[in-house]
Amino acid sequence: MKDIDQYDENVHKVLVGNKCDKEKRQVTTEEAQKFADQSKLEYFETSAKNATNVEELFSKMASSIKDKLDS
């Protein structure tokens, strides 16, 4: 995060957990959400395999970019 912030502190960042369709996970939902909360990030769990939350993620990002450009 520090590397990103050194170039632009105001960039919109989200944390994305991919492959949420898998039973065996490297990081639990709770661990990821805790990290997101501590880092003040929105958290999305996605699955490219079954398209879970993919559209929602891109819609949210597009909306955030539009809002930033409009302000």
Q: What is the pLDDT of residue 42?
A: 93
pTM: 0.77
Section 3-15 average pLDDT: 83
Q: What is the pLDDT of residue 8?
A: 81
**Cα 56–chain centre separation:** 11
Q: Per-residue pLDDT for 31 more than 90?
A: yes
What are the sequence ranges of the domains in the chain?
A: 2-70
Q: How far apart are CA 67 and CA 59, in angstroms?
A: 12
Q: Per-residue pLDDT for 9 more than 80?
A: no
Q: What is the pLDDT of residue 35?
A: 95
**Cα 50–chain centre separation:** 18
* Topology (CATH) of 2-70: Rossmann fold (3.40.50)
